[in-house]
């Protein structure tokens, strides 16, 4: 076993979708701009990684389990914002774009403020303000933060 060989990083998040057109329209209505659109996958550039929308069947095949039915998983992607007002605005924008509201933004017991919605395929997004996680100018977690 070579513990150092598996890097502590993520460079691509692939979301399986039932209808690439529908999902692309959802993220477009949130203001997302694709970096590359291929017949079976749409890539969005984040900072140092990509988020890809890919047909569920293609994703299952890519994962070495062709024909598998992929459901809604035990995972959530989160966006942190600089204030509660920004969380409210992001949540409202997503619901206006057709997201399913799972949890209205509300005070969290960890000292922040958080809401959750699901995209057209049930992928869960959290929108949160965490006063303990300072953000840099790009909205990513500041490196100086120690948590």
Q: Which of residues 105-144 bind its own copies (CB under 8 A)?
A: 108, 114, 116, 121, 123-124, 126-128, 133, 135-136, 138-141, 143
User: Shortest distance, CB of residue 57 to its own copies, whole angstroms?
Assistant: 10
Range 47-65 burial, b when 16+ CB lie within 10 A, else e: eeebbbbbbbbbbbeeeee
Q: How far apart are CA 107 and CA 84, in angstroms?
A: 9
Residue nearer to its own copies on the CB measure, 1 or 21: 1
Asked if 54 and 16 touch (Cβ cutoff 8 Å), the reply is yes
| C-beta pairs of 62-68 under 8 Å, 24+ apart in sequence | 62/14
User: Shortest distance, CB of residue 74 to its own copies, whole angstroms?
Assistant: 3
Interface mask toward its own copies for 21-60; x: CB under 8 A = --------xxxxx-xx------xxxxxxxxx----x--xx
- Integer distance in angstroms from the first to the last C-alpha of the chain? 29
Query: Between residue 57 and residue 116, which ones bind its own copies under the rule CB under 8 A?
Result: 59-60, 62-65, 70-81, 86, 89-90, 92-94, 96-97, 102-103, 108, 114, 116
């Amino acid at each position: 076993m070579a513990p150092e060989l598996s890097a502590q990083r993520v460079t691509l998040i692939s979301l399986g979708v039932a209808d690439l057109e529908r999902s692309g329209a959802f993220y477009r209505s949130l203001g997302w701009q694709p970096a590359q659109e291929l017949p079976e996958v749409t890539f969005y550039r984040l900072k140092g990684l990509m988020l890809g929308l890919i047909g569920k069947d293609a994703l299952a095949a890519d994962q070495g389990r062709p024909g598998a039915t992929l459901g809604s998983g035990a995972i959530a992607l989160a966006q942190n914002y600089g204030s509660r007002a920004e969380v409210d605005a992001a949540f409202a924008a997503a619901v206006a774009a057709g997201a399913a509201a799972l949890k209205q933004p509300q005070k969290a017991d960890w000292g922040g403020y958080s809401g959750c919605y699901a995209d057209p395929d049930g992928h869960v997004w959290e929108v949160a303000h965490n006063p303990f996680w300072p953000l840099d100018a790009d909205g990513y977690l500041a490196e100086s933060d120690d948590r």
